[in-house]
Structure 1
Amino acid sequence: MREQNYKNHRKFYPPHHFIYLPLLIALEIYGIYKIRNDPEHQLTWTLFSIVIFLLFYLAFMTRQHYALGLQNRMVMLEFKQRYFEIFGKRSDEVADQLRFDQIAALRFAYDDEFKELLNKAIKENMSGDEIKRSIKTWKADNQRV
């Protein structure tokens, strides 16, 4: 696997992103085309398009809801464990001062940069993206959902 960095850290699930969703989009476009060009069966194609849209919406929202919810919990647990390992104390007070995007961004920094960026994130209210851009040595997260 190639080295992970800011530009390539996002992950795709090929069957979902490159087969299922494009197929639904193509079927939706076809349904809309048929609504306009087949007046005899317009109601049928309208219902077809509505069902395809609902399948697309349901697939997108379900995938997002479960995967991101679980991943967010794991990122929070990882932050708390890492904070305890580095500082030897609970992270509750510090975690309450940070937004989730900041905590998520900090996982890409090695321990020495983690300390520095954590302090900057709290003092300067850096966004998660600003934290990621500030990382000098990127720590890959190859186990993401």
Structure 2
Amino acid sequence: MKQQNYSNHARYVIGYHIVAFFTLLIFIIGSIRGFLNSSEDNLYVSSLLVLIGFILLLIFFYLRIFALKAQDRAIRAEEKLRYFILTGKTLSNNITTKQIVALRFAPDEEFVSLVEKTEKENLSENDIKKLIKSWKADTYRV
């Protein structure tokens, strides 16, 4: 696997992000076409297919959101512990979860100073990632 850095740290699962999404999109488009071309005999069934398509779309997005929220909570706990180990102090509540998630890529040598800079300047997650000199890979997040 290539060395992880700012330009390649985003991760996509082809089966989920591409195949499942476009298959679902085709299903929704097909079910809408079927609904628009349906007769009275199959109007109920075709409307159910459209409904199922949108329910599946909601499930598709919420599965991703829920998994990321759980990972964010774990990352937040890990980084708060790391900050405490490195400084003996608790991490400020002014730093958002998104900022903490971005800070996880910083090695211990850069972490504390980046936390302080983030708190003072309210850096975005993108700005934090760009400031990291020696990238610490996170290959477990999907």
Q: TM-score range by the shorter chain?
A: 0.7 to 0.9
- Give 1:7 deviation, angstroms: 2.0
- Partner amino acid, structure 2, of 1:30: G
Aligned to 1:111: 108
Q: Distance in 1 between matches of 2:31 and 2:78?
A: 46
- Give me the TM-score of the superposition, normalised by structure 1: 0.85
Within-5 A mapping of 1:76-87: 76-87=76-87
Within-5 A mapping of 1:1-145: 1-40=1-40, 41-65=42-66, 67-87=67-87, 89-91=88-90, 94-145=91-142
- Give me the TM-score of the superposition, normalised by structure 2: 0.87
- Give 1:33 deviation, angstroms: 1.7
Question: Which aligned segments of 4 or more residues in structure 1 are displaced greater than 6 angstroms?
Answer: none
Q: Distance in 2 between matches of 1:53 and 1:22?
A: 13
- Partner amino acid, structure 1, of 2:60: A
Q: Distance in 1 between matches of 2:136 and 2:89?
A: 23
Q: Distance in 1 between matches of 2:141 and 2:63?
A: 17
Q: Distance in 2 between matches of 1:97 and 1:34?
A: 52
Q: Specify the SS of the correspondent of 1:96.
A: coil
- Check conservation: 1:80, 1:90, Cα contact below 8 A: no
Identity in percent: 37
Unmatched tracts of structure 1, length 5 or more: none
Aligned length in residues: 141
CA RMSD of aligned residues (A): 1.8
| Higher percent of residues as helix | 1
